[in-house]
Amino acid sequence: MEKSAKIYIAGHRGMVGSAIHRKLVQEGYTNLVLKTSSELDLRDQHAVRAFFEAERPEYVFLAAAKVGGIMANNIYRAEFLNDNLLIQNNVIDSSYRSDAKKLMFLGSSCIYPKLAPQPLQESSLLTGLLEPTNEPYAIAKIAGIKMCEAYRSQYGCNFISVMPTNLYGPNDNYDLNNSHVLPAMIRKFHEAKEEKREFVELWGSGSPLREFLHADDLADACFFLMQEYDEAGFLNIGVGADVPIKALAEMIRTIVGFEGEIHWNTDKPDGTPRKLMDVSKLHALGWKHRIELEEGIRLTYQDFLEKQEIYAV
């Protein structure tokens, strides 16, 4: 990407989009197009087409999505399917219509079958049933991958897709009703420490294994792939290692400084038993993560402390 290229980041205020924004600014890109959801509703086809016709961005990072944890995915099933389909359909189609040079669609590791062989290889897509709790979100993301492939096949568009593993970092969502596991734990342990509680209750058994990638590492990978990768097949982005949720909880409890106990509520769902990404293709291209989990959690907790008033929702 030329330093003067016009680049649109869809979802620039979210954790992923803001990390990509920081990376591009750091690399010297200044011609960035940014619109908040109140300025441009990406679910509105007419508004999105008009925006693309007026701005005609050369490169598009599609990081906008309706996201949430197990509970939010399970409760708001219609919204997670409908909103995400509308967002990605409008942005992908408008990128084609306005002759964008390249688009990157960001998906999620939940696209893989619940019981797919570990680590998850790109070839496992559509080989089995999905995890029921986040099936609507996963189906929307699978549709996005296939839409990029279809536009590449039919129209010759250089549209690529990447599937990040579980993410965390600055600008994460700490709302306990719809956040992911790591930020939810940070907030729970912090509030328990502040209120001098004797224990914190966490969902499930703590036995599932999860892989975590810092958002700044994801942004670095996206920047790398936007310049180096032009293939039809999507790519996993991750660290290639996972930890039990129990070990994650202990790590966060130590970093936050909560001295009470952890009570595991086994009446609540665990979700997928394991979601480790096979990142051999990404490593073969020459990219590897830099931020290890403990360091990343410390950085994230510091960000949480600095922005507590925003996160206290």
- Binding residue per annotation — 276? no
164 labeled binding residue:
yes
Q: Is 11 annotated as a binding residue?
A: yes
187 is in an annotated binding site: no
Between CA 13 and CA 21 the distance in angstroms is 9
274 is in an annotated binding site: no
Give the orientation angle of helix 245-256 with respect to helix 181-194, to 10 degrees: 40
Q: Is 165 annotated as a binding residue?
A: yes
- Residue 75's contacts (CB-CB under 8 Å, 6 or more residues apart) are none
- Tell whether residue 281 is among the known ligand binding residues: no
Question: Is 287 within any annotated ligand binding site?
Answer: no
The helix-helix angle for 77-97 and 135-155 (nearest 10°) equals 20
Q: What residue has token string 């939010």?
A: 72
Q: Residue holding tokens 């399970």?
A: 74
Is 106 annotated as ligand-binding? yes
- Judge contact between 177 and 72, C-beta under 8 A: yes
Q: Is 144 annotated as a binding residue?
A: no
AA identity, residue 76: Y
109 is in an annotated binding site: yes
137 in active site: yes
Residue 126 marked as a ligand binder: no
Cα distances (angstroms) measured from residue 19 to each of 16, 197, 230: 5, 34, 22
Residue 141 marked as a ligand binder: yes
Q: Which of 112, 137, 174, 229 is catalytic?
A: 137
* 107 known ligand binder: yes
β-sheet bridge partners, residue 166: 212
- Is 124 annotated to bind ligand? no
- Tokens representing 242 are 């996972």
Q: Which residues are annotated as a binding site for NADP(+)?
A: 11-17, 106-109, 141, 164-167, 180
Q: Which residues are annotated as a binding site for substrate?
A: 188, 203, 210, 270
Q: Which residues are annotated as a binding site?
A: 11-17, 106-109, 141, 164-167, 180, 188, 203, 210, 270
Active-site residue list? 137
